Amino acid sequence: MEAIGNAGTAIGILSKDGVVLVGEKKVTSKLLQTSTSTEKMYKIDDHVACAVAGIMSDANILIKTARVQAQRYTYAYQEPMPVEQLVQSLCDTKQGYTQFGGLRPFGVSFLFAGWDKNYGFQLYMSDPSGNYGGWKAAAIGANIQAAQSMLKQDYKDDITREEAVQLVLKVLSKTMDSTSLTSDKLELAEVFLSSGKVKYQVSSPESLSKLLVSFGLTQPAAEAS
């Protein structure tokens, strides 16, 4: 739990037409080469993605396990695995590690975003104990108390995906440790339906910069310089 509390914040919001995930990338040293791959967001299957907070090596093991489980289900039943079933099976693995001597629990929390034909769009949060729950808006990582109280105030049941993006960036800008919100410090991913198919999309740094300017969360590059 300590490792998760020190990790960059990740926030998820369930909207009526999609799920939005945003994560803060912690820049530990300016000498460190910035990663080209995503650090907080991972695609598990075509219809499920997740945001991560905690020990990344632990997260990689669990993400790999979840991907294999999703593919096995698709192979066996010729249809995508229901989101909750996938979350539950992964949480069973997590819980097993809290139960036996000689093993330590996985030091990682997840936000799962997905869509299936049974329940539509869904957002789940899980912690190292193997507990999970469905949420309309949730936060994991550092400063989650502040993030949760802001989400409680501003979340509406009929929120659209665009409004969810605005809310999630606003909350992150208030709860981040660093003073200014810039595109290289965050990752934004969305799960939505596009012409009947589930689509997972990670925003590029350029589109993130435009979003931050349009929502008034940062100055345009020319003004800033």
Domains of the chain with CATH codes: 2-224 (3.60.20.10)
Say what the pLDDT of residue 123 is.
98
Tens of each residue's pLDDT in the chain, 225 residues:
888 998 999 999 999 999 999 999 887 777 877 766 778 999 999 999 999 999 999 999 999 999 999 999 999 999 999 999 999 999 999 999 999 888 899 999 999 999 999 999 999 999 999 999 999 999 999 999 999 999 999 999 999 999 999 999 999 999 887 777 888 889 999 999 999 999 999 999 899 999 999 988 876 654 444
Q: How far is CA 67 from CA 42, 63, 86, 207, in A?
A: 10, 6, 9, 28
Q: What is the pTM of this model?
A: 0.92
Token pair 């998760």 is at which residue? 4
- Phi and psi at residue 51, to the nearest 5°: -115, 150
Measured CA to CA, the distance from residue 147 to residue 141 in angstroms comes to 10
**Beta-ladder partners of 199:** 192
